[in-house]
Structure 1
């Protein structure tokens, strides 16, 4: 079986194993999803009506009409749009704004991300991706006009920023609303126990200051739990959500029985009555009603943490009926007691038994903390995807599960979110303005998903433009109604979303712009292979024993920083390997098609090129034996090259290989032990290490690490002498030591650049200096690292 057929076989097996899902696993994931995905949607009743000012509600009929909006909004957006349509647009099990964009990049070739087209085409072929051969008018127009492609990238980044901003706002509004309910419960309890009026007033003043510091303490505890990972947090939070759903469902049923007329409001006629007599005051109320679908986007964004079946089954069978009963009961209670008290709009007031108020207050505090989890994990997923596709600065990503690769934790972002959430809570100390900003973030993210989804239907799925336009008009018109209402609330708190949007969008846009410009500079300033193989002997270059790894972003030619090094120091190693990392707009690259191996120049120069492919959910650079696999793959390439006619006829041909170390036909790996102070030129592979491990190493005896040596197979008579000789040279070079060449960039701005470009590059330089080092640099010991400075004029 040739490499291409083997890649297709393993890729198909990978997909089949991923699609197989037993009911036992579905139930387990459904249980975990309650604590992660649906905590947000389940706690929305705390602030949907609570974020409405009591004086804005004029009659009980208006309450009925608002409940009609709630019922049909939940039925149309999370149930119909997300559970039954958008979830089917997953990118090999991954969901969110960027996976939708990646589908357009891969299937319709509409992306602007700096990835190698030849590598993308090879992976598309191996994965069996359905490329659209018939060019539709829409696709022709987008491919022809560069501005359309920039618009798509802008929409993708904008949607990601909305989800990230929601991840900052939701913990604040959820926890603050719960602590406010807890405060009201304590006030009632104090009035029951204390009879003196002055003492009551003094206690009330103390309790009125309680929600904000209590909310801040809960937020700190919530974000401190994130490092335990999705699985552990899901098992911890799921029972709380189950108890919460049972509680609010029971409250809803009781209040419905007290006022069964509320069920008539399920009729859409009540919505038309509302629209018939609408004015600016009542139109603003929809800005709070849209919070009932808060967490819908998290259903799709958290898809990589769970599965489509588990998310859909949980919502249809449990979340949807529980929420409808809860909102119906709350609307029935408010309509019956409208005007009697300003607190009647709060969910806690609808609890029938006053003795249960305190239990409800405590439970709501725990449930609100759980409700924030959906947007936090969704933000981690989105940022991980953006970072892999060069749209977010380098941050440390911790994969918290060996079985589900989409479960990630990002420490730096986690503490940034905690700081922003606490700051928002202290700054606003009121759920109304925070709720307005949250509603605008929710509906803006949904509109972006609707627009990208309509393009996926037309360009990726190959459906007719009529179907795509129908999807856009049906769901987009409803979301546009809510968007207009949220914009009316802009002066009342929604303005703060603009601050968060500018913060995150400028970070993402500047990093993407700087990365693309640096890549273009590298491509424009690379030198040809002939410069190294033909002209360099005239410079008196000598060959040194050992292997030289040259890490570069370009996938053809010689990078400018290495030619600069050779010009000033005319010597390089016996074996050179140009290594490039290329992220592709796909979630994962299977291990059997992870490397593209080829030659640079004639055979006698022993110069090779290795392109390492990875998806936006992969973590290839964190592997301990990464470079051992590269050497093993190059050995396989040398052994197979004699039988590959394409490689013989084309000097730039690349061969698809995988992590074959241990079962290859060329080099046999042997594991030996080596102390960390005996071979300074050997790589220290561990990229993500605990600081406590470093201190332990410094105080103890030298640590013995595993080191792989390669030997040639003895009984291979079919191996040609030239192949055996080249393999032996590779083994000898490995034993002589390894050096690593890395370009050190210094970015400067052209004097004739406009103000916007100068501003973007200035932000990029600041982020580059303060972000995490390139992962490849973390794997290299300083004694073997050669950094070559280059000035990038952009």
Structure 2
């Protein structure tokens, strides 16, 4: 029987991966004696790379088998699909309120066929961007269920070494969720691009800069969406009464916005179930009214399916047609929420709700408005409310206000998600993450960000006062994020998916051309409000840059000044040094050794507990780390003199910390597991080497008496180690927190001093401290201060 081409592809891919891993190990750890070389294949399955530091020598262990996530049940998918209608599509669903009026911003339609040209562009834009690009392509680039700009960046960081902090470890690749599947064998092109990215420092900085820019723009969306949606809906009341002034509309909008942000603490789960029925009714009404208007006024607008009307529109209007693209692009506002909010739901649930409800309703709504305008050109400034039958005006007004409120929810939820990701990857200051649903992962609320967003929304609404200028700002934020997403996606297609080059070229030519055309149009209105999202982005990126830059400087300082093994032994053997019963947990960010703050501590307090664990909390560029793979231990040599362990606790950027089980209890239990496995494997390997046999051959050892003695010695060693840890734990646990003050070093320039002494320290003073993040009990916590001169 012939092997299928897919099997050949998979086999070639695995061979390439194995060769690549060995080469990377030799590059990363050239000084280590890889005892695995020459061992049989089965031994390699039991390997655990020693990348915590060379001082631990060779370390044995086993790797947990990967366990792919099972598909969610259909009942759960349908529940989430229903919820997603209320959370994800409010923004794009309320775009019919203002698209036609924003496109013909001067209120004049020069030629009746211009309506067909605009409708044709709306139809093809909705089809290409939200449907084809996001629903069927971009959603595939989720990071274990999570989306957004940082999810794309994390995928690239996992595949290529483009991270700027040297905390990568060989063991990280053994985490189940870390592994990347590749569907085909286009390896040469992928390896070439990967090599270029890894060798270029400027490319690494550019990727991080682009990620921060995309994140800032999405947060800008979270500010502008509530403003334009609520103002548009509330402004509809002018159709019913002329007594409603602009000031009254603005203040009513402000009250609604404040109430909306106050509701966020209830969580996405409760808010989603409250909002979903309203948005479902909204889509049913706009779709139904659109179909009614289509039949009643002008069924011939179906001709807009012919893209020839787009060309004619540009021929007639030239520059004005190009400028009007800034209004048409508002038809796809909120599309980024499809991807940013996927962590709150699932990919199938988003796809189902978009294809079955949102897309058809929007197409009918815009087609109906176009049919109405063909007969009533003069009503273009108030297309939405003018095209509603009189008997449905008030129900639709109420629904429009409610839908506008809900529209804001889409980008607010997306903002919380991407800030959580950027926080975990060291690109945002510490803030409190509240997980609002025990039932569904990824649903979060951030109190500090919620209040800042509320203040920003109120400020924009009071400052701009109308939807035209906000719309100009909104378009820039929307198209910038989409263009950045496409850029990252092309990298992922080449490096990770290894997509055929013809498909990549087609994607860039079609989707890329459309997005760049829209971007050029919205940038034209920069001075008419378009500067606002760029101003937001500048402030947010400044905060991100300050935090990330000093975070990296601190890490390199600790790496350069870490304590050597010889120094540690010297300290322990010092006659003036006192050892007391108990267990000390010392927290630091360094994963490659013992941090310099430890030396500072023992020089001032010459006493230490009998068991010491150096804990480093590390965020991997993946969304979730399975609990059984979270703790990575090493014991510091020499083991007969020291009860010193180093532990890296690995979290994904959506993992919940310390809410289900006390961190301390989990740490001790995992330490005991490590001791049991470590001693057993160590003794077993020594026995095998003494007999001159491989690991596999040991099972064939005929000297049963010697094997039994070795077994007893192994278990005695395990018991001794476990008893030492148990005794120390019973004597009491103290948590030592390293509180590092950072200052610019001598001779530093003015820019560096402003960055470190003022900007970073200002952020640090006004934000959450470490013990609050890790849930450390205050009665058993000791802070150790040290100043780093960077």
2:348 aligns to what? 309
- Give the deviation of 1:567 after TM superposition: 1.6
2:538 aligns to what? 502
1:763 aligns to what? 759
Distance 1:50 1:275, change over 3 A: closer
Distance 1:776 1:729 in 2: 30
Distance 1:647 1:252, change over 3 A: farther
Distance 1:427 1:539, change over 3 A: farther
2:215 paired with 1:163: no
Distance 2:582 2:472 in 1: 63
- Give the deviation of 1:8 after TM superposition: 3.9
Q: What per-residue deviation string (whole Å, max 9, x for no partner) do you get for residues 129-153 of structure 1?
A: 6699756322222111110111111
2:615 aligns to what? 579
Distance 1:47 1:489, change over 3 A: same
Distance 2:684 2:241 in 1: 78
Kept in 2: contact 1:50–1:346 (CA 8 A): yes
Q: What per-residue deviation string (whole Å, max 9, x for no partner) do you get for residues 391-412 of structure 1?
A: 1111111111123221111111
Kept in 2: contact 1:36–1:238 (CA 8 A): yes
- Give the deviation of 1:256 after TM superposition: 1.2
Kept in 2: contact 1:107–1:129 (CA 8 A): no
Kept in 2: contact 1:182–1:362 (CA 8 A): no
2:513 aligns to what? 477
Distance 1:424 1:324, change over 3 A: same
Kept in 1: contact 2:217–2:481 (CA 8 A): yes
- Give the deviation of 1:568 after TM superposition: 2.2
Distance 1:6 1:178, change over 3 A: farther
2:195 aligns to what? 140
SS for the counterpart of 1:210 is helix
1:607 aligns to what? 644
Kept in 1: contact 2:64–2:629 (CA 8 A): no
1:640 aligns with one of 669, 673, 677: 677
- Give the deviation of 1:426 after TM superposition: 0.7
Alignment of 1:217-366 (within 5 A): 217-257=255-295, 258-339=297-378, 341=379, 344-352=381-389, 354-366=390-402
2:576 aligns to what? 540
2:780 paired with 1:729: no
2:25 paired with 1:30: no
Distance 1:623 1:520 in 2: 33
Q: What per-residue deviation string (whole Å, max 9, x for no partner) do you get for residues 414-444 of structure 1?
A: 1111111011111111001111111111110
Distance 2:775 2:177 in 1: 32
Distance 1:88 1:123, change over 3 A: same
Distance 1:125 1:355, change over 3 A: closer
Distance 1:465 1:775, change over 3 A: farther
Distance 1:120 1:292 in 2: 42
2:155 aligns to what? 103
Distance 2:264 2:676 in 1: 48
* Structure 1: gaps (5+ residues): 188-203, 650-715
Distance 2:684 2:322 in 1: 67
Q: How many residues align?
A: 703
SS for the counterpart of 1:589 is coil
| TM-score, normalisation: structure 1 | 0.84
| TM-score, normalisation: structure 2 | 0.85
Kept in 1: contact 2:658–2:774 (CA 8 A): no
2:655 aligns with one of 611, 618, 629: 618
Q: Which moved more, 1:464-473 or 1:149-158?
A: 464-473
- Give the deviation of 1:539 after TM superposition: 6.0
Distance 1:445 1:539, change over 3 A: farther
2:628 aligns to what? 592
Distance 1:563 1:622 in 2: 32
- Give the deviation of 1:6 after TM superposition: 8.1
Distance 1:426 1:607 in 2: 60
Distance 2:683 2:558 in 1: 28
Distance 1:73 1:519 in 2: 46
Alignment of 1:73-152 (within 5 A): 73-113=125-165, 115-123=167-175, 127=179, 136-152=191-207
Kept in 1: contact 2:228–2:467 (CA 8 A): yes
Distance 1:745 1:234 in 2: 42
Distance 1:636 1:758, change over 3 A: same
Distance 1:560 1:469 in 2: 51
1:700 aligns to what? none
Q: CA RMSD in A?
A: 2.4
Distance 1:126 1:588, change over 3 A: closer
Q: Which is bigger in relative contact order (C-alpha 8 A, separation at least 6)?
A: 2
Distance 1:605 1:783 in 2: 27
1:780 aligns to what? 776
2:229 paired with 1:183: no
Kept in 1: contact 2:101–2:107 (CA 8 A): no
Q: What per-residue deviation string (whole Å, max 9, x for no partner) do you get for residues 152-208 of structure 1?
A: 111111111111110110001000100101233233xxxxxxxxxxxxxxxx2x544
- Give the deviation of 1:124 after TM superposition: 6.2
- Give the deviation of 1:303 after TM superposition: 0.8
2:41 paired with 1:46: no
Kept in 1: contact 2:144–2:177 (CA 8 A): no
2:612 paired with 1:560: no
- Give the deviation of 1:230 after TM superposition: 1.3
SS for the counterpart of 2:428 is coil
SS for the counterpart of 2:94 is helix
Distance 1:529 1:56 in 2: 79
Distance 1:776 1:469 in 2: 49
Alignment of 1:691-702 (within 5 A): none
2:685 paired with 1:630: no
Alignment of 1:521-536 (within 5 A): 521-536=557-572
Distance 2:326 2:216 in 1: 20
2:19 aligns to what? none
Distance 1:269 1:777 in 2: 58
- Give the deviation of 1:386 after TM superposition: 0.6
- Give the deviation of 1:744 after TM superposition: 1.3
SS for the counterpart of 1:49 is helix
Kept in 2: contact 1:108–1:460 (CA 8 A): no
2:708 aligns to what? none
1:739 aligns to what? 734
Kept in 2: contact 1:584–1:614 (CA 8 A): yes
Distance 1:147 1:179, change over 3 A: same
Q: Which moved more, 1:507-516 or 1:438-447?
A: 507-516
Distance 1:109 1:431, change over 3 A: same
